[in-house]
Amino acid sequence: MAESVVGAIDVSVVRALYGNSPSLNLSSKKIREVPKCVSRLTKLSVLLLNNNCITSLPAELLSLQHLTQLNLGNNSLKEVPAALGHLESLKKLYLFSNQITVVPPEVIDGLHNLVVLNLNHNKIQSLPLEIKSLMKLEHLSVLDNKLEELPAELGHLSKLSEINLTSNRLCCLPQQLCQCKDLTKLHVARNKLTSLPEGITALEKLQVVDVAGNKLSVFPVEFHRLPLKELYCEGNRFVQCEPVQSEQDAEVLTLKELVARFVLWEDRNRVSLVHRMLPHYPCLSALLANGSCCALCQGPFLTTWLECVHFVNLRKDMKVRSSLTIPVRAVLCSYKCFNTEGHCYYGVATR
Ligand SMILES: [Zn+2]
């Protein structure tokens, strides 16, 4: 480190020490190693170390027990430093634009108060299951990394409001993401998604969805009911509305399906014997929980359905500012329903 730079850092630290300042700005000072004297600033709440050449953090930093914001963006870290796991007061942690490949579980486990976590522009392949410890997390950004899958434990983050997973390698999103009921923004553009979780319509606060540049063929059932303000979905592989002639196979339901449909019907009647007895058969209840409902007759079914889509105009039907029309998945219980007149559901042809 050049003498003048060291001098400038020392002056900053001494000034912060004697001024009892709650913040210290050491950004863009060509720092390779964080001076250990920084650890004497025990009252510090904001520490800016972005735009340097830092490769590791000294263990002494764990004395900064009042630190709420730490910016380590644009450095040369290869993993999330172990010392961070002891900074329990941290609310905002920025680690963007490093070379991080590993997010150690024990570090994440110690960051209970984190509200903002920014890991953009790194080389992270997976997030640890311990991410469920971040119960106060509202903003998670892992844009431009190498994520191939997400842990189901993301579903524990009940405060999560924004998640940005743009430019990764995700083929699917965990169903459990639909438990994050406070989610307002979902950015998953430029991944390899072939489908979105069917439960996504449970996210009633969702306002922005960006799924552009994936491999989606349809949107999940009832997707058009979401109160979205913005939807970006260009560059996918959506099924086209090009009607083709098709043959209808004879419809023979299995005994299991017939019984399941009967039980599901009966279960809707609160005074029926089936409805009262079903709670005593947890295995059967669990099986029937996978049942669904016909888009036309609203009749229940378990495992046999007709895969259909209807086409939704974003401007007219969803009040979203876009001229696009999207295919939304719908399932019908039978050819009997499919063959009735006056509906707008199309069977999906596979070529
Ligand atoms: Zn039906």
Å from CA of 336 to ligand 1 middle: 7
Å from CA of 231 to ligand 1 middle: 30
Residues 90 and 111 sit within 8 Å (Cβ to Cβ): yes
Place of tokens 């083929």: 171
DSSP string, 117-174: EE--SS------GGGGG-TT--EEE--SS------GGGGG-TT--EEE--SS--S---
Å from CA of 267 to ligand 1 middle: 17
Å from CA of 258 to ligand 1 middle: 14
- What's the confidence (pLDDT) of residue 314? 92
> Bridge partners of 330?
308
Å from CA of 298 to ligand 1 middle: 6
pLDDT by residue for the chain (351 residues), tens only, comes to 444 555 666 667 666 666 677 899 999 999 999 988 888 888 899 999 999 999 999 998 999 999 999 999 999 999 999 999 999 999 999 999 999 999 999 999 999 999 999 999 999 999 999 999 999 999 999 999 999 999 999 999 999 999 999 999 999 999 999 999 999 999 999 999 999 999 999 999 999 999 999 999 999 999 999 999 999 999 999 988 777 777 777 778 899 999 999 999 999 999 999 999 999 999 999 999 989 999 999 999 998 888 899 999 999 999 998 889 999 999 999 999 999 999 999 988 766
Å from CA of 343 to ligand 1 middle: 12
Å from CA of 334 to ligand 1 middle: 6
Å from CA of 95 to ligand 1 middle: 52
Å from CA of 326 to ligand 1 middle: 23
Sketch out the chain's domains with CATH numbers: 3-232 (3.80.10.10), 255-347 (no CATH)
Å from CA of 272 to ligand 1 middle: 22
Å from CA of 202 to ligand 1 middle: 23
- Interface predicted TM-score (ipTM) of this complex, two decimals: 0.99
Å from CA of 222 to ligand 1 middle: 16
Half-sphere exposure of 117 (CA within 13 A, CB side): 24
C-beta contacts of 144-153 below 8 A and 24+ residues apart: 144/120, 144/168, 145/119, 145/120, 145/121, 149/174, 150/174, 150/177, 151/126, 151/127, 152/176, 153/129
- What's the confidence (pLDDT) of residue 252? 86
